[in-house]
Amino acid sequence: MNPENFINALTEKGFELSSKQKEQFAIYYQELVKTNKKVNLTRITDEKDVYQKHFYDSMTPVFEFPDLFKGEKSLCDVGAGAGFPSLPIKILCPELKVTIIDSLGKRLKFLESLVEKLGLTDITLVHSRAEDAGQNPALREKFDLVTARAVARMSVLGEYCLPLVKLDGYFIALKGPKADDELASAKKAIKLLGGKTQKVVELTLPNSDDERTLILVKKLTKTPKKYPRQAGTPNKKPL
């Protein structure tokens, strides 16, 4: 998926990119590849692959759940790494207020520079472990939407993300193919943390065999105060 194919694919989804947005994606790609030579951000660096497997892939929640992204919503991206999925979504939905949480300072330094070069506003970068962020009163249950992509299995991811979602807000997990088993093992954890799975969407990236799964979880009740547990515990002892 070269830039032209990418633009056409978005048009088919009902999104006409402005010249500014096209330029933002081009700069994003250039900065990602340049910085990746010094900081390990991604193993995917070919332009066609970045546009498809990072940019387009990151925006699939907007295509599948468009109503959730309308208006001035707040989104928190847990473990965003090189900015996926939140920054491609932000470029597509400029009104979105984005908070990115990541535990690695080098990645946040890249994101800080990138955000400035892309001319993006209403973005907050937080240097923190997800477990600590979930217990931070400034962040806990403050967001309309919380996303995570390629971070952890669902039983662990729920404990990272659901404490950050406000009541009646949504947690969106971007997963690989066939996430049924993972979701089944996380059912108890999701309920315990105040969530309920609303929808599971399986899709394939355009002109490829790359399968993806989107899991949409609604926050129905407040997360018990003891969650998330101490840093490292969710991964060692999943709920």
Give which of 1, 82, 78 is closest to 34, Cα–Cα.
82
Any known ligand binding at 131? Answer: yes
Average pLDDT in the chain: 95
- Quick one: pLDDT band at residue 37, thresholds 50, 70, 90? very high
Global pTM reads 0.95
pLDDT of residue 179: 87
What's the pLDDT score for residue 86? 97
- For residue 29, what pLDDT band results from cuts at 50, 70 and 90? very high
Find out whether 72 is annotated in a ligand binding site.
no
Look at residue 71 in the predicted model and tell me its pLDDT: 87
pLDDT for the residue numbered 118: 97
Percent of the chain with pLDDT over 90: 91
> Is 140 marked as binding a ligand?
no
Does the pLDDT at position 201 exceed 90?
yes
pLDDT at 150 over 80: no
Q: What is the pLDDT of residue 181?
A: 87
**Helix ranges, 13-142 (H):** 19-36, 47-49, 57-64, 86-92, 105-118, 130-134
The annotation status of 211 as a binding-site residue, yes or no, is: no
Number of domains in the chain: 1
Residues 35-59 have a mean pLDDT of 94
> At residue 180, does pLDDT exceed 90?
no
| pLDDT exceeds cutoff 90 at 80 | no
**Nearest one of 211, 130, 207, 216 to 178, comparing CA atoms:** 211
Per-residue pLDDT band for 178 (boundaries 50, 70, 90) equals confident
Q: What gap in Å lies between CA 238 and CA 98, rounded to an integer?
A: 28
Give the C-alpha distances (Å, rounded to integers) separating 13 from 7, 87, 206: 10, 18, 12
Q: What's the CA angle centered on 205, arms 199 and 58, to 5 degrees? A: 65
pLDDT of residue 81: 87
Give the pLDDT score at 40.
87
pLDDT of residue 151: 77
Kindly tell me if the per-residue pLDDT of 98 is higher than 90. yes
CATH code of the domain containing 133? 3.40.50.150
Long-range pairs for 122-127: beta carbons < 8 A, 24 or more residues apart: 122/96, 122/97, 122/98, 123/90, 123/98, 123/99, 124/98, 124/99, 124/100, 125/99, 125/100, 126/99, 126/100, 126/101, 126/102, 127/102, 127/103
Q: Which residues form the domain of 167?
A: 3-236
Residue 149 counted as an annotated binding residue? yes
